[in-house]
C-alpha cells in the first residue's frame, strides 16, 4: 500500500494564548482545530499520516504538539519551535529528539524583521545540533529570504531544509518572475526540499485553478518528485479554499507524473525527509 502523507498541517487551542498572529479578524481560523476535526478530511483523501507543524513561537507550543502526537496515531511527525539563540538550544533539541515523533524545528522567519536572521553567528551551534541529531529545518520564508537561506545551506551543506509553501510567492500581485528565478537558483545550488502547499492563500480572492497552476508546476519542475512534498496547510487553507479542492487541484498539476513519481510527492518524499514509518 502506498503511504499518502499530508506534509503540513496545524492544530491549535485558542485558550493556550500564544498565537499572536491569530486574531478574531481571521474569522475562519478563530476557533480550536483539533486532530478530530482533520480526521474525516484525511479519510476522504486517503491520507494515513501527517506532519504537524508549529503555529506559535513558544516551547509550550512544541510540548502541546507532542502531547497531541502521543494520542493520535496519524500524526507521523512533529515540527516544533525552539529558541535557537539560547545558549542551551542544543540541550533542548537533544531532549526533544528523544521523543519518537519529533523531527525538526521551524522558526517563524517570515515574521522576523531581518530577512538575513538565519545568518546570525549566534545560531551556528543550533544549526550544528540539528545536523548532529538528524533533525530537519522548516523554512517559513518569502522570496526575500531565499538568498540568505541559500547562503545558510552553503555554510551547512548537511543541514536538511524544506521550504514551506513554495516560499509564499505573491500570486495575487503576479509576482512570478522574481520568485521563480530565486526558487530555481536555490533548487539548483542546494539540496533543499520544497512543500507544494500554502499557495491558495497567497492568491487573490476568487482565484481560479489557472492562477495557481504555474506556481505549482514551477515548484515541481525545480525540485522534482524526490524533493517535493504535498501538504494541505490545513486549517490555514480554509481562508481561501478547502481540503478536497486543494487536493484535487494538486492532482491536476501532478497528473503528468509517472506512478512512482506521484507516490513520491504524495507521501514517499515526506516519509523519507521526516523519517515517517
Whether this prediction's pTM lies above 0.85 is answered by: yes
As a whole number, the mean pLDDT across the chain is 97
**DSSP string for residues in the chain:** ----EEEEE--B-GGG---TT--TTSGGGSS-B-HHHHHHHHHHHT--EEEEE--SSSHHHHHHHHHHHHH-TTEEEEEE---TTSTTHHHHHHHHHTSTTEEEE---GGGSS-TTGGG-GGGHHHHHHHHHTT-EEEE---GGGHHHHHHHHHH-TT-EEEEGGGG---TTTT-HHHHHHHHHHHHHHS--EEEE-S-GGGSPTT--HHHHHHHHHHHHHHH-GGGEEE---BTGGGGT--HHHHHHHHHHHGGGS-HHHHHIIIIIHHHHHHT--
Q: What is the pLDDT of residues 207-265, one digit of tens each?
A: 999 999 999 999 999 999 999 999 999 999 999 999 999 999 999 999 999 999 999 99
Query: What pLDDT is stored for residue 2 in this prediction?
Result: 75
Q: What domains can be seen in the chain, in order of their start residue?
A: 5-274 (3.20.20.140)
Q: What is the pLDDT of residues 46-74, one digit of tens each?
A: 999 999 999 999 999 999 999 999 999 99
Query: What pLDDT is stored for residue 277 in this prediction?
Result: 86
Stretch 179-190: mean pLDDT, rounded?
98
- Percent of the chain surpassing pLDDT 70: 100
Q: What is the pLDDT of residues 139-151, one digit of tens each?
A: 999 999 999 999 9
Stretch 150-166: mean pLDDT, rounded?
98
Query: What pLDDT is stored for residue 1 in this prediction?
Result: 55
Amino acid at each position: 500500500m502506498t503511504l499518502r502523507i499530508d506534509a503540513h498541517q496545524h492544530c491549535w487551542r485558542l485558550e493556550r494564548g500564544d498565537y499572536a498572529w491569530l486574531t478574531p479578524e481571521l474569522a475562519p481560523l478563530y476557533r480550536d482545530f483539533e486532530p478530530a476535526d482533520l480526521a474525516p478530511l484525511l479519510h476522504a483523501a486517503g491520507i494515513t499520516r501527517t506532519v504537524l507543524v508549529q503555529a506559535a513561537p513558544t516551547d509550550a507550543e512544541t510540548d502541546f504538539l507532542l502531547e497531541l502526537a502521543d494520542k493520535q496515531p496519524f500524526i507521523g511527525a512533529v515540527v516544533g519551535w525552539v529558541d535557537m539563540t539560547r545558549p542551551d538550544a542544543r540541550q533542548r533539541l537533544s531532549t526533544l529528539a528523544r521523543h519518537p515523533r519529533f523531527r525538526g524545528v521551524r522558526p517563524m522567519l517570515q515574521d522576523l524583521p531581518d530577512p538575513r536572521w538565519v545568518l546570525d553567528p549566534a545560531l551556528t551551534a543550533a544549526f550544528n545540533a540539528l545536523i548532529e541529531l538528524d533533525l530537519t529545518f522548516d523554512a517559513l520564508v518569502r522570496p526575500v529570504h531565499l538568498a540568505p537561506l541559500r547562503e545558510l545551506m552553503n555554510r551547512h551543506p548537511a543541514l536538511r531544509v524544506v521550504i514551506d509553501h513554495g516560499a509564499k510567492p505573491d500570486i495575487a500581485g503576479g509576482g512570478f518572475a522574481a520568485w521563480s528565478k530565486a526558487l530555481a537558483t536555490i533548487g539548483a545550488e542546494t539540496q533543499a526540499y520544497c512543500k507544494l502547499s500554502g499557495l491558495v492563500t497567497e492568491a487573490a480572492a476568487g482565484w481560479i485553478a489557472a492562477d495557481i497552476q504555474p506556481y505549482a508546476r514551477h515548484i515541481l519542475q525545480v525540485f522534482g518528485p524526490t524533493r517535493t512534498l504535498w501538504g494541505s496547510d490545513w486549517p490555514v487553507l480554509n481562508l481561501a479554499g478547502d481540503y478536497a479542492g486543494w487536493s484535487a487541484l494538486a492532482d491536476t498539476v501532478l497528473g503528468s507524473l509517472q506512478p512512482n513519481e506521484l507516490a513520491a510527492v504524495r507521501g514517499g518524499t515526506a516519509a523519507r525527509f521526516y523519517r515517517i514509518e
